[in-house]
Amino acid sequence: MHRTITLLVVLGSLALAPAASGDDPTVWQPSPGTSWQIQLQGRVDTSFDVAAYDVDLFDTRRPLIGALHADGRMVICYFSAGSYEDWRPDEGDFPEAILGDPLDDWPGERWLDVRDTDDLRRIMRKRLNLAERKGCDAVDPDNVDAYANDTGFPLTGRDQSKYNRWLARQAHRRGLAIGLKNDLGQVGRLVDHFDFAVNEQCFQYDECPRLRRFVEQGKAVFGIEYKGALASFCPQAVAEQFSTLKKRLSLEAWRLACDDI
């Protein structure tokens, strides 16, 4: 989980795929093995020869998104859908009643009550509308595994999957693809509703097999590892058709990619 927002950009290796029933059938779906870069801090370095860029929604201006599109790239916007962040421009929209316990190691961030709350859904609709206005092609909502954390609310897996499916429907209605960020415990319930996966540290924690369902459906798995040598996880990542990067936790421009070795 991160305190920044993501735009995922994809050049080739993209395919249009049917969205979930009742959703926009023209939503794009990045295929397994799509190359990518994620940068959530600092001035975005657009020089990497990759199919996908991942940058911050609130901090990234439309001209940069337009420039990425001009280079033939698709764009996904990252935002936190499960936590309040006190540095975001819409932080005043969050009523105290839906703010829970702080996130460990992330100052200024608190869990959100993802049960049926009109206030939360109103806020997330506004964020999705912003992604649409900025020209994003997809969204990557973070912190969508609150039920598995100490939030201060009695959240259940059912509460979480219901909320996550709602996010997917709202994204598709705006013509946006959507990625499932982590939440590995619910992949079986949610893989049909999401167009790709974004995962952190599945090799470090021996959790990668849970993501195979995405590849089996022709959907990309964008992975990030913060620890370990490339040789310790890249052979398996390539064999699994995962698009895995080695990054520093700050998520600045620096990267090492498994598909480059």
Give the separation between CA 178 and CA 28, rounded to whole angstroms: 9
Q: Say what the pLDDT of residue 28 is.
A: 84
pTM score above 0.75 = yes
Contacts of 144 (CB under 8 A, 6+ apart): 81, 82, 160, 163, 164, 167, 180, 181, 182, 183
Alpha helices in 95-185 (DSSP H): 118-134, 157-173
Residue 80 has pLDDT above 70, yes or no: yes
The pair phi, psi for residue 153, each rounded to 5°, is -120, 150
The residue count of the chain comes to: 261
Residue 11 has pLDDT above 90, yes or no: no
Give the separation between CA 3 and CA 10, rounded to whole angstroms: 22
Q: What is the pLDDT of residues 206-250, one digit of tens each?
A: 999 999 999 999 999 999 999 999 999 999 999 999 999 999 999
Helix and strand counts by DSSP (H, E) for the chain:
6, 14
Name the band, by pLDDT with cuts 50, 70 and 90, for residue 205: very high
Name the band, by pLDDT with cuts 50, 70 and 90, for residue 73: confident
Give 76 or 182, the one with higher predicted confidence. Answer: 182
Q: What is the pLDDT of residues 113-164, one digit of tens each?
A: 999 899 999 999 999 999 999 999 999 999 999 999 999 999 999 999 999 9
Q: Say what the pLDDT of residue 58 is.
A: 95
CA 27 from centre of chain: 16
Set out the domains of the chain in order of their start, with CATH numbers: 14-260 (3.20.20.70)
Beta-carbon count within 10 A of 13 CB: 16
Q: Say what the pLDDT of residue 232 is.
A: 97
Q: Say what the pLDDT of residue 76 is.
A: 82
